[in-house]
Amino acid sequence: MGRSNNRILVPQARAAMDQFKMEAAREVGVTLKQGYNGDLTTRQAGSIGGQMVKKMIQAYEQQLSGGGGGQTPLG
């Protein structure tokens, strides 16, 4: 099985991505700790990732329709 590629493509965005992940976790009712969260269930981790993707798609659609004001989902 291949290796996962979980690297941040823009290292300067790491703090914003962590904040975005914490926000998504709060929205789906999952408590995250700073640092390692390997004790999450697959369902919890998937719900956080799914919420992040949902918000990114929503922000991109708003941007495409001209209603985004130049904002990205990360602020």
Quote the percentage of the chain above a pLDDT of 90.
Answer: 65
Residue 7 lies in a domain: no
Confidence of residue 71 (pLDDT cuts 50, 70, 90): low
Instruction: Classify burial at 48, counting beta carbons within 10 Å of its beta carbon; exposed 0-12, middle 13-18, buried 19 or more.
Output: buried
8 Å CB contact between 11 and 17: no
Distance, CA of 26 to CA of 8 (rounded, Å):
22
Distance, CA of 5 to CA of 3 (rounded, Å):
6
Model confidence, pTM: 0.75
Residue 18 lies in a domain: yes
pLDDT at residue 6 tops 60: yes
Domain tally, the chain: 1
Quote the percentage of the chain above a pLDDT of 70.
Answer: 84
Q: Which domain holds residue 22?
A: 12-27+41-64
Distance, CA of 32 to CA of 30 (rounded, Å):
6
For residue range 33-68, what is the model confidence (pLDDT) as tens digits? 988 999 999 999 999 999 999 999 999 999 999 875
